[in-house]
Amino acid sequence: EDISVIGLGYMGLPIACLLAEAGYQVKGIDISTDRVDMINSSKCPYKEMGLEKLLQKVISTGFLRATTTLKSSNTYLLAVPTPQLENKCDLSFLNKAIEQLVLVARNGQTLIIESTISPGTSKEIQSKLLKHNLELNVVHCPERAIPGNTLFELKNNDRVVGSENSIAANLVKNIYKTFSNGQIFITDTTTAECVKLVENTSRDVNIAFANELAEICHELEVDVQHVINLANKHPRVNVLSPGPGVGGHCIPVDPWFLIENTESGELVRLARHINDHRPVVFADQVKKYLKKINGGKVGILGVAYKADVDDCRESPAYALLQELLNSGIKVKYHDPLVMEWACERLSLAELQVWSDVLLLVTDHSAYQGMKFSKFVINTRN
Ligand code: SAJ
């Protein structure tokens, strides 16, 4: 049986590989010829544990083939990016894919949407297809795997399958069962859309609480991490860790999608603002310190959005860099995994010599236990 996976990015590629490993004849479709060529020559376009090895396997066995052309298929799986545009879900990539789809799809085929979308979008897509006289089984099956451990979580996390049609839902459930050990729950499309957004909103709101606590404890002159550690000894308390803000392509945007068309959502909005404000808080700390020592050079340690990934999307390091540059401060960086970024990269040794103060933004394991020769402002502790 064949499946076309549209969009070979952070989620499309691993899912395409897992389906191919499970024995589906998978066509991976992407608009980038570079990416298609890379994948066909078994090279993984980004760092993800175990992915390159799996890619080599499914390319050599011929179960996965990447191409730029979409053709008719029993099942289409859409995993294109749905970024944020002015606090709303930007459907332009998704709409482009749908335009291609209507040219090749036939009635009765199945369209699985894995991309994150705001509540009600699956139904809108279904009506849009109907306007083209196309009756597809539209199923929303949001991805929930964590970058850095994607393959493991794709195989082991529970999943939600949302559909208005129970036959289609079961069909899709059986597809995911071929590689997933998790439980698969069937619901309607709008509920499935909400579930995904609520997961990430819950994390965002909880991180905002930790960040707010950091500011409260700073005023009270107590160590926030110590307070949190002791509070977390309580059996029903689990406060997350404060940090430089929230990065990645999901948690900082999904809360906006959840409340895109609702009047309620004050706490969600506030959490977003608290988390977005964190880089300003640290930039102010840096400026104060530089003033005290009469310095002007900051070395950023770690620019990826979180530890041990090479992904810089929405990383709070960008906002920090902008804040510092706007105040005329010179900035260079080091990151063990990110070789190119928005300012000059130095080796760890060079950075320590060059800078007046170090600003640890990403707590990569490579930095753990390390002694630095300059004062470190640690956004993670
Ligand atoms: N962070 C903190 N404090 C914490 C935890 C995280 O400041 O205590 C920061 C991180 O440094 C990072 C950001 O939050 O900048 C997000 O990191 P993360 O590890 O919480 O999550 P992501 O963005 O890598 O992946 C999330 C996951 N969602 C949940 O855990 C609910 C993942 O399961 C989703 O599949 C993914 O979003 C997605 O694609 O939606």
Q: Model confidence over 332-349: pLDDT tens digits?
A: 999 999 999 999 999 999
Which CATH number does the domain housing residue 273 bear? 3.40.50.720
Q: Give me the percent of the chain exceeding a pLDDT of 70.
A: 100
Q: Which amino acid is at 281?
A: V
Q: Name the catalytic one among 27, 89, 141, 196.
A: 196
215 in the same domain as 137: no
Question: What atom in ligand 1 is closest to the CA of residue 305?
Answer: 15
Binding site membership of 247 for ligand 1 (Cβ less than 6 Å) = yes
Binding site membership of 276 for ligand 1 (Cβ less than 6 Å) = no
Last residue of a domain, which of 187, 209, 238?
187
263 in the same domain as 175: no
Last residue of a domain, which of 162, 187, 212?
187
What pLDDT was estimated at residue 316?
98
Whether 193 is covered by a domain: the verdict is: no
Whether 192 is covered by a domain: the verdict is: no
Model confidence over 100-157: pLDDT tens digits? 999 999 999 999 999 999 999 999 999 999 999 999 999 999 999 998 899 999 999 9
129 in the same domain as 87: yes
pLDDT at 381 over 90: no
Residue 222's domain comprises 198-378
What pLDDT was estimated at residue 311?
92
Whether 340 is covered by a domain: the verdict is: yes
249 in the same domain as 330: yes
Q: Are 46 and 118 in contact (CB under 8 A)?
A: no
261 in the same domain as 231: yes
To the query of whether residue 196 is one of the catalytic residues in this protein, the response is yes
ipTM rounded to 2 decimals: 0.96
Model confidence over 246-301: pLDDT tens digits? 999 899 999 999 999 999 999 999 999 999 999 999 999 999 999 999 999 999 99
Q: Are 27 and 67 in contact (CB under 8 A)?
A: yes
What pLDDT was estimated at residue 7?
98
Within the chain, residue ranges assigned H as helices are 12-21, 33-40, 51-60, 92-104, 121-131, 150-156, 166-177, 189-220, 224-231, 254-258, 266-293, 316-326, 348-354
231 in the same domain as 177: no
Model confidence over 160-201: pLDDT tens digits? 999 999 999 999 999 999 999 999 999 999 999 999 999 999
207 in the same domain as 183: no
175 in the same domain as 238: no
pLDDT at 47 over 90: no
Q: Are 8 and 35 in contact (CB under 8 A)?
A: yes
Domains held by the chain: number: 2
255 in the same domain as 210: yes
27 in the same domain as 163: yes
